[in-house]
Structure 1
Amino acid sequence: MSAVNDTSFNSAVFLLTGIPGQEDVHLWISVLFCLVFVISIAGNSVVLFIVKTDPSLHEPMYIFLSMLATTDLGLSISTIPTILGIFLFNSREISLSACFAQLFFIHSLSFIESSVLLLMAFDRFVAIRDPLRYASILNPSRIAKMGLMFMLRSVVLIFPLPFLLKRFQYCRANVLSHSYCLHQEVMKMACSDITVNSIYGLFIIVSTVGLDSLLILLSYVMILKTVLSIASHVERVRALNTCVSHICAVLLFYTPMIGLSVLHRFRKSSSPLLQILLGYVYMLVPPLINPIVYSVKSKHLRARIIKAFIK
């Protein structure tokens, strides 16, 4: 125990985990991850470029989509160094300062993405409920204010976490179960009382992801109520079809996040491999799939992308 207490903050490191038992094929797995990252970055960058350069796409729905693409880019870039470091160079060590910085960006961007999904749900609600006033309700100024407000909410709530973690003493050989740092894992490595971090972490989850998911559900209840009041069956299907992409994005984001949170809470009884794989799904799949789904489902966006590449 004295060794633990003598461990200094500056000399302590965390050990990240790849996929245990698959070390022999880490190089081949790295090829898959590289491909995922390239597609994620290229797909989201293309969406951003097309929306920015095409004035006809300067509509609320596409502005929110560009916000989602920017957040997905940030999440991909935040995880690239440590994941590829493990699988390409077997570099598992990460300093506490680098770990705290990484978890700050990962959690901030995750909560911003949750907020963007909420804004996109509100966008679909307004478009279906009041299409004639859609552009005036969601004007560029209002969109910018809402986006800034939710971004500040996420950053302000996450900002104290690195400082709360920095005050702890950490045991040697702190092995994390992912290829990146998460607050709920790092705080359990501390040789100190983590009650404050645990309570504050729960408060953040409830006030961001919990509230956002509840409001998204409420938005879709209102959307469904509005759609059912439409007399024409064709118009009902058309209205619901505009929500398919967003529903896919919501499921891709919230399903692995909730699953990972449950596995962390019941860590002793859960499979370590399942926890690791779900962690990769949580971080890698949404940035990969979101631009593909929106490009496929949005005829206008798809046509602009095809036109840009043909030129």
Structure 2
Amino acid sequence: MSDLNFSLLQNMSFVHPEYFYISGFSGIPFIQYYFIFLFFIYFITVFGNSFVLIMIFTERSLHVPKYIGIFNLALADFGETNALIPNLMKTFLFDSQYISYNACLANMFFVFFFSSVQSLTLVVLAYDRFIAICLPLRYHAIVNNSLMSAAVMAVWSFSTVVIGTMVGLITRLSFCKTNVVTSYFCDHGPIYTIACNDNTINSVMAKLSTILCIYAPLIAIVVSYLGILFTLSKITSWAGRLKALKTCISHLLVVGIFFLPVLSTYIAALTFSLHPNARIISTSLSGAIPPMLNPIIYVLNTKEFKDLILKMLKKRPNKI
């Protein structure tokens, strides 16, 4: 075979490693305590989101647009937690930091997919609050179960296309220098940056995905709440304003705990040199904490949930 043909063959083929090594939390002092902390986060998250899913699915009074959105958020929280934390537990319990190439791509897809679904679902819930407060008389005519179901399907379809494209482009990369991923899971950025061929399109897709799945949803939520604040400013009584604003508290808290950790980590990385271990801890917390807190916030701040819990407690048979 001539040197020219051999060179062309090399350019046409991709070098895919058999496995990646997730360096993750290597070298972080007392990391075993952090893994124990993540285990409790996982238990609370799975229990809390399962409770919300079962309550909404079984209680007919909750089969309304708002709770279709909350159901979708809980499903995304449940999915992201199970895509993220069990792999960390495997590393901790079995000291296994290796993951096969295909399993790594699957892990990457599901972590980013469910995170995107969370972000976009918060936009859907913001729209629900916007219509409820700004157009209360037309709320039931505009927002119904069919519309909310269609919005949820659009969220899943959009996330599948964007994240699927982002992950699919990884397959065109060759890894001929190293297979060590400096992250705590199969993170997109740390993987495409260790490729030994041109990764420009991967870098562009990473930025585009961040804009579409993080910044655009946040801007849409901010705009919706500016409209809500403008409407509230027209209400003369403070009692009326507080009553309307109270219906947004749960959603605002969930928006805050989802977006603020992500933005703070990003700003910190731009402002000063963030130590890799600090970045790994902060990003892992920003991925694990919101799914744990979301069901707690909605259960404690939503009258319908509290009423159902009280009803369940009253139905418990008295001990003889």
- TM-score where L is the length of structure 1: 0.90
C-alpha deviation, 1:7, in angstroms: 9.7
Aligned to 1:98: 103
C-alpha deviation, 1:307, in angstroms: 3.1
Work out whether residues 116 and 147 of structure 1, in 8 Å CA contact, stay in contact via their aligned partners in 2.
yes
Candidates 183, 202, 207, aligned match of 1:202 = 207
Aligned to 1:294: 298
Aligned to 1:269: 273
Aligned to 2:122: 117
Which deviates more from structure 2 when the two are superposed, residues 268-277 or residues 144-153? 268-277
Work out whether residues 19 and 276 of structure 1, in 8 Å CA contact, stay in contact via their aligned partners in 2.
no
C-alpha deviation, 1:80, in angstroms: 2.5
Aligned to 2:150: 145
Structure 1 residue matching 2:193: 3-state secondary structure: helix
C-alpha deviation, 1:171, in angstroms: 4.3
Give, in whole Å, the separation in 2 of the partners of 1:45 and 1:289: 13
Unaligned runs of 5+ in 2: 1-10
Aligned-residue RMSD, C-alpha: 2.2
Judged with a 3 Å threshold, the aligned counterparts in structure 2 of structure 1 residues 306 and 91 are, in CA distance, closer, same or farther, namely farther
Give, in whole Å, the separation in 1 of the partners of 2:165 and 2:121: 22
Corresponding position: 1:42 with 2:78: no
Give, in whole Å, the separation in 2 of the partners of 1:303 and 1:245: 16
The Cα offsets for residues 198-224 of structure 1, whole Å up to 9 and x where unpaired, read as 112212222332221111110000000
The Cα offsets for residues 203-260 of structure 1, whole Å up to 9 and x where unpaired, read as 2222332221111110000000011111111010111111111111111111222334
Unaligned runs of 5+ in 1: none
Judged with a 3 Å threshold, the aligned counterparts in structure 2 of structure 1 residues 261 and 193 are, in CA distance, closer, same or farther, namely farther
Aligned residues: 304
The structure number with the bigger radius of gyration is: 2
Give, in whole Å, the separation in 2 of the partners of 1:95 and 1:14: 9
C-alpha deviation, 1:12, in angstroms: 4.1
Aligned to 1:154: 159
Work out whether residues 12 and 95 of structure 1, in 8 Å CA contact, stay in contact via their aligned partners in 2.
yes
The Cα offsets for residues 19-55 of structure 1, whole Å up to 9 and x where unpaired, read as 6333x651x4333222111110110110111111112
Corresponding position: 1:280 with 2:284: yes
Which deviates more from structure 2 when the two are superposed, residues 54-63 or residues 32-41? 54-63
Aligned to 1:83: 88
- TM-score where L is the length of structure 2: 0.88
Instruction: Spell out the pairing of 1:171-190 with structure 2 (5 A cutoff).
Output: 171=176, 173-190=178-195
